Structure 1
Amino acid sequence: MLIIRVVLADDSSHHNAEVPDLVPDRERSSESASGSGSGFLYLPNLKNLKYLSMDYTSLDLGVLQRIGLMTSLEALSLVNCGLQGTLLLEVGGVIPKFLYHQQYLQFLDLSNNNLTGGFPNWLMENNTELQYLFLANNLLGGYLSIHSHMNLTTLDISSNSFQGHIPKEVGEYLPSLETLNLSRNHFDGSIPSSIGDMTSLRSLDLFYNNLSGEIPEHLAESCTSLSVLVLSNNKLGGKIFSTKFNLTILMILQLNGNRFTGSIPDSLSKASDLAVLCLGDNKLSGTIPSWLGNMSGLGVVIMPNNHFEGPVPLEFCQFQSLEVLNLAENNLSGGLPSCSSPLSITHVHLSKNKLQGQLKDAFFNSLSLVTLDLGYNRFDGSIPTWIGGLSQLTYLILSNNNLGGDVPTQLCQLNQLRLVDLSHNNLSGYIPPCLDFTALHSSDHEVASLFGSDISYLEVADPFRSIIPYCLVGNSACTSTLQMDRIEESVEFTTKNLSYSYHGKVLTYMSGVDLSCNKLTGKLFDENAC
């Protein structure tokens, strides 16, 4: 059994992206095919070849025709090969023809090309044993029509231009699906209830469409194998889940950017292995449930821009794996639990609430902390000196509170510090000149090139890009990878009394200090006045 490893004569690098391990390594061998100096790729005539991976290799007409003669292929991966043309069989052309005579495919990945046309039902009909089909990031479109296929376990048509309703019979037609990714298309209408018939479904990603209605009760009750549920950036509404909730092994739940109402349902507490919870930018209300603190594996809690009220639960002190906590832009009140200091936490966003009291010992032992954003609250007292022990702290935002006293000189110990906003407080005393020797000056030329040399205000709302790979493994093959890289940074800055917003990965190029609107004396940069 052979796997082709493509080596171009004018490129010493090996283009070898691994296809699923349908065959144990000990049964594999590799064969190299070399090309001429002009870049023409020569493939030997291997009719019995079963596994072929030529990812990131520019393929010409001759190569595609030769692949079409390899009629024993079981796995074919042609990711980012510059393929162009339609997948419509009736139109003809090189693209469908080189696939038409394949009848034994179990794995096919044509992602990241320029393929057009509609969904290739003919390809699934020709390959009744097909298990994995990846067509992501192409130019496919039109209304999605899917025929029945009993063996397909993975379907990824994300980042295309499909429109209309998701077929209501999708669960009946594809009953063996374990991974379904329809994200970044133009689907509208409701989520089909028949998805609940996919009892083996482990990952469902419908991110960034125009879907409306509620989450089907049949889905929440019957998809008991579901580990990943991503429905963010749609127009879904109603309650999140009913009492008929059986997604007990759910690990990733992303519902942000919708129109959900009501409170966080207690039924969600059944998902005791939850690791990622994203409910931001909805219309949720009520208090944050204390049972969240009992989820020992919870690493990401992102719930900004809702209507939550009441205190931050004392049970949050039990978090051992928490890395990201974002409860900004709610109506939370009370003080921060002094015991809340997870060792693993890296980003804290609690701005624009009604939190009050002194900071005391909250987060004093969180030595991995990169972002601490507590702006626009009602905190009083002094800035705690233990902040100087947070050696990884890069973004510190305590603006628009009632903090008083001196600016602690311990801030000068933070060599990674890039953004400091202590504006609009009651701070007094002398500005520590040593702030000028932190990382704040390391990228001044980059900041100037982006925004000019007179930035006086930078507010970071979401300065992070948390990447959490999640790999679903089945039949010794990694069939799905979900990355939490969809959380875009949001930066607001003010210069010359004008505020601007910027969305994107920008913070690595930014540095700044804002101590304005206090009672401080001395000079750091040009001015300290409102």
Structure 2
Amino acid sequence: HDIGKLKNLRLLEIYDNNLSGKIPFGFGNLTNLVQFDASNNHLEGDLSEIKSLKNLQSLQLFQNRFSGEIPQELGDFKYLTQLSLYDNKLTGFLPQKLGSWIGMEYIDVSDNLLSGPIPPDMCKNNQITDIALLNNSFTGSIPENYANCTALVRFRLTKNSLSGVVPKGIWGLPNLELFDLGRNQFEGSIASDIGKAKSLAQLFLSDNQFSGELPLEISEASSLVSIQLSSNRVSGHIPVTIGKLKILTSLTLNNNNLSGNLPDSIGSCVSLTEVNLAENSISGVVPISIGSLLTLNSLNLSSNEFSGEIPSSLSSLKLSLLDLSNNQFFGSIPDSLAISAFKDGFMGNPGLCSQILKNFQPCSVESSGSRRTSSRSKCLRLILGISSSTMC
């Protein structure tokens, strides 16, 4: 309790210990405190003693057991630039004035029980680089002026109850590397501005209500490493320009309303390790070029409308997962893919046959030669028949 007598104290770092208990009464007397870091301890109780520390620039209390509401007075801290309170049990609303003064550099209040709207002014001075509000119960929409967050590098809002349309300018923020909006209720389409996001590496939008088509401009975001867009309402075709994404490793578009063909240009995405297009309405043949994706280890095309033969080029891949089930494939399953680990991945294609897998009809001479070969044979017999009649 005597710590409150150290009225000239400016820096207090007590992080990474086994401290327990509450912030002591009288702590609020440390009005000259500029930095306070008590992170990674076992501290508990509320933060009421913090509300008088108006000279704070950095407040780090993450990974503790603090509860109660964040003092609204923090919104009046004119010098506060760094706020990290993640992994506690805090409730209530974030102070709506946060960032209204000198401007925040980063805020992380993830993994709490916070609710209410996102503060509108955290980008006021275009200094903030990291906004992490994930795993709470925030509601409302993303403020329009967040499109001015030109210094923003990481924007993480996953696992909340946010909704509405994402402001158009946010898609094209020039320094944004991580954009995570997963598990919310966002709607609208991905804006063509995404082509301006030259630093964007990770795009996580799964489990929302996004609709519309994938813009061609997404292929201009050349730093993309991962596109996670599963469980939305996205429609239209996969852009034919997808092959421009040379360092893309993960493409997850399952459970949408995509249609059309899988473009041959996907074979130019030479860094792909995972492709999941399950539960769409994609049709046509699987492009042979997919066999050139030598780093690919997971391919899920199940529950679509693919047809034709399974490309033998898939045999050159070192796949740990292959799921082509519930499509319209026909012909022989390539012997090198006819292993028990992949057996279920061929189910739901009545036209498939195999000399190796027991659950499939054995291939006849005609089917093992493929329907295309069969058609050519019939054509040849017809030509020979015509020639014979002519000679007679």
TM-score tier after normalising by the smaller chain length: 0.7 to 0.9
1:32-181 equivalence runs, <5 A: 89=1, 106=11, 108-111=13-16, 113-119=17-23, 128=32, 131=35, 133-145=36-48, 146-149=50-53, 152-173=56-77, 175-181=78-84
Q: CA deviation at 1:208?
A: 1.8
Post-superposition Cα deviations, 1:437-478, rounded to whole Å, max 9, x if no partner, equal 8xx97xxxxxxxxxxxxxx8xxxxxxxxxxxxxxxxxxxxxx
1:420 touches 1:513 (CA, 8 Å); kept in 2?
no
The question of 1:517 aligning with 2:348 is answered: yes
User: Could you say which residue in structure 2 is the equivalent of 1:498?
Assistant: none
Post-superposition Cα deviations, 1:373-432, rounded to whole Å, max 9, x if no partner, equal 0000111111111111111111111000111122222112112x2111111111111122
The question of 1:247 aligning with 2:152 is answered: no
2:180 touches 2:205 (CA, 8 Å); kept in 1?
yes
User: Closer, same or farther in 2 for the Cα pair 1:106/1:274, shift >3 Å?
Assistant: same
User: Closer, same or farther in 2 for the Cα pair 1:429/1:130, shift >3 Å?
Assistant: same
Residues of 2 paired with 1:101 and 1:264: CA distance?
47
Identical-residue share of aligned pairs (%): 30
The question of 1:283 aligning with 2:169 is answered: no
Residues of 1 paired with 2:25 and 2:352: CA distance?
70
How many residues align? The count is 358
Structure 1 residue corresponding to 2:98, chosen from 187, 195, 212: 195
User: Closer, same or farther in 2 for the Cα pair 1:242/1:126, shift >3 Å?
Assistant: closer
Residues of 2 paired with 1:523 and 1:240: CA distance?
56
User: Closer, same or farther in 2 for the Cα pair 1:245/1:402, shift >3 Å?
Assistant: closer
User: Could you say which residue in structure 1 is the equivalent of 2:291?
Assistant: 388
Structure with greater helix share of residues: 2
TM-score by length of 2: 0.82
Query: For 1:312, what is the secondary structure of its paired residue?
Result: coil
Q: CA deviation at 1:136?
A: 2.8
Residues of 1 paired with 2:191 and 2:211: CA distance?
11
Q: Which amino acid aligns with 1:521?
A: C
Residues of 2 paired with 1:365 and 1:109: CA distance?
52
Residues of 1 paired with 2:251 and 2:58: CA distance?
36
Post-superposition Cα deviations, 1:16-44, rounded to whole Å, max 9, x if no partner, equal xxxxxxxxxxxxxxxxxxxxxxxxxxxxx
Residues of 1 paired with 2:110 and 2:323: CA distance?
34
Structure with greater strand share of residues: 1
The question of 1:271 aligning with 2:182 is answered: no
User: Could you say which residue in structure 2 is the equivalent of 1:367?
Assistant: 270
User: Closer, same or farther in 2 for the Cα pair 1:314/1:110, shift >3 Å?
Assistant: same
Q: Which amino acid aligns with 1:211?
A: L
User: Closer, same or farther in 2 for the Cα pair 1:339/1:271, shift >3 Å?
Assistant: closer
1:121-520 equivalence runs, <5 A: 128=32, 131=35, 133-145=36-48, 146-149=50-53, 152-173=56-77, 175-220=78-123, 222-243=124-145, 246-268=148-170, 271-341=173-243, 342-415=245-318, 417-435=319-337, 514-518=345-349, 519-520=351-352
Q: CA deviation at 1:161?
A: 1.8
Q: CA deviation at 1:371?
A: 0.9
User: Closer, same or farther in 2 for the Cα pair 1:304/1:528, shift >3 Å?
Assistant: farther
1:517 touches 1:528 (CA, 8 Å); kept in 2?
no
User: Could you say which residue in structure 2 is the equivalent of 1:49?
Assistant: none
Post-superposition Cα deviations, 1:292-317, rounded to whole Å, max 9, x if no partner, equal 12211111111111111111101112
Bigger Cα Rg? 2
Q: Which amino acid aligns with 1:170?
A: L
1:275 touches 1:298 (CA, 8 Å); kept in 2?
yes
User: Closer, same or farther in 2 for the Cα pair 1:430/1:201, shift >3 Å?
Assistant: same
Query: For 2:131, what is the secondary structure of its paired residue?
Result: strand
Q: CA deviation at 1:159?
A: 2.2
TM-score by length of 1: 0.62
Q: Which amino acid aligns with 1:381?
A: G
Q: Which amino acid aligns with 2:239?
A: P
Q: Which amino acid aligns with 2:347?
A: S
Q: Which amino acid aligns with 2:311?
A: P
2:283 touches 2:306 (CA, 8 Å); kept in 1?
yes
Q: Unaligned 5+ residue runs, structure 1? A: 1-88, 91-95, 442-455, 457-511
Q: Unaligned 5+ residue runs, structure 2? A: 362-392
Q: Which amino acid aligns with 2:346?
A: L
1:515 touches 1:528 (CA, 8 Å); kept in 2?
no
Q: CA RMSD in A?
A: 2.9
